[in-house]
Amino acid sequence: MRFLRSCGAPARHDIYAGIHKGLRAFMADTLLRVGRLDADDSQAVTEALAAIDALLDLCLSHLAHEDAVIHPAMEACQAGASRPAAEHHEDHVHAIGRLRLLCDTLRHAPRPDRAEVAQRLYRLLGCFVGENLLHMHLEEIDHNDCLWRHYGDAELQALEGRIVASLSPAEMAVGLRWMVPAMAPAERLALLAPLSAKLPAHVFDGLMTVVRPHLSASDLVRLEEGLRQAA
Ligand SMILES: [Fe+2]
């Protein structure tokens, strides 16, 4: 795996940057939540299991979109280019199954056993997060290298558009909830200003309702000022 991208190259459209920042944030937040979980607190256990469930749903839908849209585009230009990541995806599906089983074990564990099961879940989730961090890095370096050599930015934006168009409103809301707060201010504006221009006002306001509680006061002021100027 390469860890450095050459400097000085013109900026290109990065199909992975935003969603991967969101996934990193969601994974880190959920791992910390499970680590500090009081296994005797039934409400906290229920909430932690719901967070893991939502994270795993997002991971599954994300890898399915990559398999369906991005990998065929890569294979069309460079046979085998997506194979390592596709194999990772198969491993991730199995890991998600194991995590869901362990979540069920915690959900139904008698109270004296819960702390030990929660600890096992924390460690297994940590392994899953670690593998995903390395996997996302591979995609951001090796896949972008392939995509940028064979496709223009408009074509990459069209691929991304196919994925976005396939999202349910609920998937869109979960994705934005984690992506937007995890982004740099300029990235937030670049993502949201076109949506503000394109979507009916009540739909965009609904998305902002999901995002707003997770931004700091200063980040929110900056974003709303940027959206006003872009309108
Ligand atoms: Fe992936």
Q: How confident is the model over 112-121, as pLDDT tens digits? A: 999 999 999 9
* Ligand 1 centroid distance, CA of 230 (Å): 32
State residue 169's pLDDT score.
87
Strand ranges (E), the chain = none
Residue 163 shares a structural domain with residue 194: no
Q: How far, in Å, CA of 79 to CA of 83, rounded?
A: 9
* Ligand 1 centroid distance, CA of 135 (Å): 6
* Ligand 1 centroid distance, CA of 214 (Å): 25
Residue 41 shares a structural domain with residue 113: yes
Residue 32 shares a structural domain with residue 116: yes
* Ligand 1 centroid distance, CA of 12 (Å): 19
Cα separations in angstroms, 51 against 26, 67, 97: 9, 24, 16
Residue 63: give the domain boundaries.
17-168
State residue 145's pLDDT score.
97
State residue 126's pLDDT score.
98
| Mean pLDDT, each 10-residue run in order, the chain (231 residues) | 53 95 98 98 98 98 97 98 98 98 98 97 98 98 97 97 92 95 96 92 93 97 96 85
In a domain, 1, yes or no: no
Residue 204 shares a structural domain with residue 156: no
Residue 141 shares a structural domain with residue 40: yes
* Ligand 1 centroid distance, CA of 143 (Å): 10
In a domain, 61, yes or no: yes
Contact 139, 84 (CB under 8 A): no
* Ligand 1 centroid distance, CA of 96 (Å): 14
Q: How far, in Å, CA of 218 to CA of 144, rounded?
A: 33
* Ligand 1 centroid distance, CA of 63 (Å): 5
Residue 114 shares a structural domain with residue 194: no
State residue 197's pLDDT score.
92
Which tokens is 176 given? 């934005």
Residue 37 shares a structural domain with residue 130: yes
* Ligand 1 centroid distance, CA of 164 (Å): 16
In a domain, 5, yes or no: no
In a domain, 9, yes or no: no
* Ligand 1 centroid distance, CA of 180 (Å): 20
Residue 131 shares a structural domain with residue 207: no
Which tokens is 121 given? 């879940």
Overall number of domains in the chain = 2
* Ligand 1 centroid distance, CA of 98 (Å): 18
Residue 144 shares a structural domain with residue 204: no
* Ligand 1 centroid distance, CA of 79 (Å): 17
State residue 231's pLDDT score.
85
The per-residue pLDDT for range 23-64, each reduced to its tens digit, is 999 999 999 999 999 999 999 999 999 999 999 999 999 999
